[in-house]
């Protein structure tokens, strides 16, 4: 649920998140991608290339050199996505919404302990 927490914080600042692009080890498993889609309620896509660090550097270099006007424009030019996209299942999303609410209750109940290092004693 940490990803969901991050998305909620982004929304509070006015940022609209319409989809997620995931990379690395977490992008390898179809089940994990589907869980992320269901937890967040957002579609998940995965780039074709696994060299995302190099691709990101090339994108920033293209913008810095003036070859592309914006990062979004460079991403459109440099990044291809796998055809399979994972969409959130409404019924599972509802179940995760309920579990997320319980997670938040537990987190805030335990936060004072975390803040004072009670688990390190």
Q: Which is nearest to 89 in space by CA: 19, 40, 22, 20?
A: 40
C-alpha 77, offset from chain centre: 21
Strand ranges, E, within the chain: 20-21, 44-45
Gap between the Cα atoms of 46 and 80, Å rounded: 9
Per residue in 35-78, pLDDT (tens digit) is 999 999 999 999 998 889 999 999 999 999 999 999 999 999 99
pLDDT band for position 113 (50/70/90)?
Answer: confident
Does the pLDDT at position 119 exceed 80?
Answer: no
């Amino acid at each position: 649920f940490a990803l969901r927490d991050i998305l909620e914080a982004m929304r509070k600042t006015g940022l609209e998140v319409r989809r997620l692009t995931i990379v690395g080890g977490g992008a390898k498993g179809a089940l994990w991608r589907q869980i992320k889609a269901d937890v967040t309620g957002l579609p998940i896509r995965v780039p074709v290339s696994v060299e995302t660090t190099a691709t990101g550097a090339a994108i920033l270099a293209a913008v810095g050199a003036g070859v592309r006007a914006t990062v979004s424009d460079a991403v459109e030019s440099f990044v291809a996505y796998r055809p399979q996209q994972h969409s959130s299942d409404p019924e599972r999303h509802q179940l995760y919404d309920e579990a997320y609410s319980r997670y938040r209750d537990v987190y805030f109940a335990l936060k004072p302990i975390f803040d004072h290092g009670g688990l390190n004693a």
